[in-house]
Amino acid sequence: MSLKKRALGALAGVLAFATLGGVAAAADLPYTEGTVSVVSSVRTEPGMYNAYLTYLKNTYKPMMEEAKKAGHVLDYAVYSASPRSPEDPNVYLVVTYKNMAALDGLTDRMDAIQQKYVGDQAKRDAATIERGKMRTMLGTEMLRELELK
């Protein structure tokens, strides 16, 4: 057997061992990766709380219900909060997805739903400007549930 074949065989063995070790290490984790939630923090402008919630009821909710039916999202929720300061949110929007892969191509999958409820991109841009008069988006974060074994 040539030295080259022995070296390739040894390299293949090391790679196989490393790969199996990685799989074994993942199996030893005390958790399983679960759903992914995107949490948007919103602060309504003074006097605009009910107007913003009306928008959520009339436009956001129907879009999210359709996205849920289509399997694009698992669930969604709207939460009210008591802000500790003027810079804190008073509304949270939470959308839950099956996993990280569910976010791949989401914009394209949601396009038809947005088209149906809001209109073309020009109308969506105008609607975003109007919503900006009701609220300020403070930020968005992504959370992954860890299901303890």
pLDDT for position 5: 55
Whole-structure pTM value: 0.79
Mean pLDDT of 9-28: 60
All structural domains of the chain: 31-148 (3.30.70.100)
The answer to whether 100 and 144 have CB atoms below 8 angstroms apart is yes
Of 65 and 27, the structure prediction assigns the larger pLDDT to: 65
Per-residue pLDDT of 41-72, as tens digits, reads 999 999 999 999 999 999 999 999 999 999 99
DSSP letter for each residue of 15-67:
HHHHHHHHHHHHHT-SEEEEEEEEEEEEEEPTT-HHHHHHHIIIIIHHHHHHH
Checking if the pLDDT of 87 tops 60, the result is yes
